Amino acid sequence: MANYFFFFLFFLNLYSQKESPFENLNFIKNISNTNNGTYKQELIKLRTEGVSEIDIIKKEILVATKYGDLKKIILLLNRQIEIEGENPDLLYQIGGTNGILALKKKNFFSIIYLNEMLGSFSKALDLDPNHVPTLEAYIDALYSVPKILGGDKKKAIKLAERLMQISKIDGYLSMAIIYFKNENKEMSNLYLNSFFEELSSLSICERENLKIYFSKKSNNFPIKISQITSFFEKEVDSGLCALNFYMESSNIKKNLYSLEWIYYLKSKLTFLNGNHEESIRLIKLSLDLNPDFELSKTFFKKISKS
C-alpha cells in the first residue's frame, strides 16, 4: 500500500509550471486565506431578506470561487442538491471540485476527495450517460488514477469511444490524452490531427452564438482549446476566439485558473496571430500579476528579442 500511495503522491505533483498540451490543473490559482475579512464580508452581504436560498447559494458559489474556497463550494453544491435534487451538472461540479482538492492536498486526505470525485462522476453518468462534461472529466480521472484507488483504464477507453459518438471534438481530445499518457505518439498524434480537423470544421470564430455551442461543454473547454492550439501552434484563430469568449463571458466569474496563466495563453496566441505589440502588453499584465511566473518570464524574453 505504501508503494501505491507514493505513486499517488507522484501523480499529484503539481505546480511545476512546465508547459504541457493537456495538463491545466497545475495552473489552478492558489487557495486564498478563507479567514480573509473581505471574503467574509462579501458572503454576509449576500444574505438579504426576500432572496431565495437557491439564489443566495449560487451567488455564494461565485464568491467562494473568487477566493478559492473549494470546501465551501462543495458544501454549497451539496445544499443545492438537497433543495433541487440530484442532477448531472451539480454532481459534475462536485466531482470536479473534489478532484482539485485531491490534487492540492497531497496527503492521506487526498484519497477521501478522490473517492468523492469518482463517486460523483459515476452518479452523474447514471443520471445522464451522455453528459459531455462528466464523460470528459471521468475519462481523464479513470485513466490517471492508480487502479487500487479506483482507476480503470479499460473503462476510460470505452467511455472515450462513447464520447466520440456524442461529440467528436471532445472524444478525439480524450483519446489523444489517453494515448499521450500511454506514451503512444502515433495514436496520440492520430487523434490530435482529428481534433484539429474537427476544430477547423466548426469555424468557431464565425459562429454567431458561441454561448450556445459551449453551453454543453465543460466550463474550461474554451481554455483547453486555447491551451492546445497555443502549444501546437495550430488553429490559432480558433484558440484565440475560444479564449476571448471565456474571458468576456460570465464563465470568467467561475474561473479557478490563475489569471497570469490565462494572460500568458492570450499573449502567446496573439503573438502567433501576428500582433506583436498586443502580445507584449498581455505578457506584461501576466507578469504584473505574478513576476515569478516562469512561463511568462521565458516568453517575454523570447518576444522581446523578436
C-alpha cell at 148: 487500487
DSSP character string of 87-150: -HHHHHHHHHHHHHHHHHH-STTHHHHHHHHHHHHHHHHHH-TT-HHHHHHHHHHHHHS-GGGT
| Residue 257 phi, psi dihedral angles, 5° rounding | -85, 155
Q: State how far the Cα of 4 lies from the Cα of 86, in Å rounded to an integer.
A: 33
Q: Which overall architecture, per CATH, does domain 1-16+35-148 show?
A: Alpha Horseshoe (1.25)
Q: Which residue has the cell 499517488?
A: 8
Q: State how far the Cα of 187 lies from the Cα of 172, in Å rounded to an integer.
A: 11
Closest CA to 214 of 237, 241, 253, 234: 241
CATH class of 203-306: mainly alpha
Residue 44's pLDDT band (cuts 50, 70, 90):
confident
| Residue 292 phi, psi dihedral angles, 5° rounding | -100, 10
| Percent with pLDDT over 90 in the chain | 63
| Residue 28 phi, psi dihedral angles, 5° rounding | -65, 135
Cα 182 versus chain centre, distance? 21
- Per-residue pLDDT tens over the stretch 68-95: 889 999 999 999 999 999 999 999 999 9
Q: Which of 93-107, 113-127, 195-209, 280-294 is the least confident region? A: 93-107
Residue-range domain boundaries for the chain: 1-16+35-148, 203-306
Helix (H), strand (E), coil (C) string for 147-204? HHHCCCHHHHHHHHHHHHHHCHHHHHHHHHHHHHHCCCHHHHHHHHHHHHHHHHHHCH
Whole-number average pLDDT of the chain: 87
Q: State how far the Cα of 172 lies from the Cα of 161, in Å rounded to an integer.
A: 9
> Could you check whether 1-16+35-148 and 203-306 share the same CATH topology?
yes
